[in-house]
Amino acid sequence: MFIESYNQQEKVLLAVDCIIFGFDKENLKILLVKRDIEPEKGKWSLMGGFLNAGENLDDAATRVLHRLTGLSNVYMEQLRAYSAPDRDPVARTVSVSYYALINISEHTEINEDFSAKWFDIKKFPDLIFDHNTMVANAMSRLRYRASTKPIGFELLPEKFTMKQLQTLYEVILGETLDKRNFINKINALDILLKTDEKDMKSSRKGSFLYMFDEEKYKVKVSDGFTFKL
């Protein structure tokens, strides 16, 4: 009886879509792929896929990301579900979106099978279905996260200048930050390690390179530490 009740229900597909953000030391970017099937064949899309039997949503999102980038150990966060009955013209499909953060300079190998390309977040092409809405919601979440914890370090190379860090937060937040105030707030967090190395491309004297102290940050979080920029 219970099995019959299940069998009588309308079948709904469950998918995941990944909004993949990257930073190239100057601009925040998004990784898009060209859709190779109808409908909307040849148009730009987020990287997505259907949930397989035996995996949960996080597993599916990790698989989809790895298939495109070859990466499996990156920051990823579930956003929300999209369930409009007509969002996919082929079949009734509910999609759960995730956003991921990738340091472009250290992860440049992208699966060429998907015709993937990085676009500036301020000028990327129109996307299929409801993917534009997904990106807008992901940007809102990213801005919120950036203002409450140092999530931006996920997008930076292992060693970075203070200027690069400030530029990253400016492009995420969409506003210009006062240099002195920003440096004071970052230093007050005590989660950076200043190295003896310099980036000589930034100026004649060069700029010192810093590293994120992940262990110290984890200890602070466990003690109830919050980040407010």
Domain range enclosing 96? 2-148
138 and 127 in one domain?
yes
Cα 90 to chain centroid, rounded:
27
128 and 38 in one domain?
yes
Question: Among residues 107, 125, 148, which one ends one of the domains?
Answer: 148
Question: Among residues 119, 148, 177, which one ends one of the domains?
Answer: 148
In tens digits, what is the pLDDT along the chain, a chain of 229 residues?
567 777 888 889 999 999 999 998 889 999 999 998 999 999 999 999 999 999 999 999 999 999 888 877 788 999 999 999 999 999 999 999 999 998 887 766 777 778 889 999 999 999 999 999 999 999 999 999 888 777 778 899 889 999 999 999 999 998 999 999 999 988 888 889 999 999 988 777 889 999 999 888 778 777 776 667 6
Counted domains in the chain: 2
Residue 215 structure tokens: 């262990």
227: in domain:
no
Question: Among residues 102, 120, 148, which one ends one of the domains?
Answer: 148
134 and 21 in one domain?
yes
Are residues 129 and 50 in contact, defined by beta-carbon separation less than 8 angstroms?
no
173 and 103 in one domain?
no
144 and 193 in one domain?
no
80 and 185 in one domain?
no
121 and 27 in one domain?
yes
167 and 126 in one domain?
no
212: in domain:
yes
CATH for 83: 3.90.79.10
Distance CA 101, CA 119 (A): 14
Question: For residue 83, what are the CA distances in angstroms to 39, 92, 135?
Answer: 19, 9, 16
229: in domain:
no
- How do residues 34-85 score in pLDDT, each as one tens digit? 998 999 999 999 999 999 999 999 999 999 999 888 877 788 999 999 999 9
Residue 130 structure tokens: 């409801």
228: in domain:
no
CATH for 204: 1.10.10.10
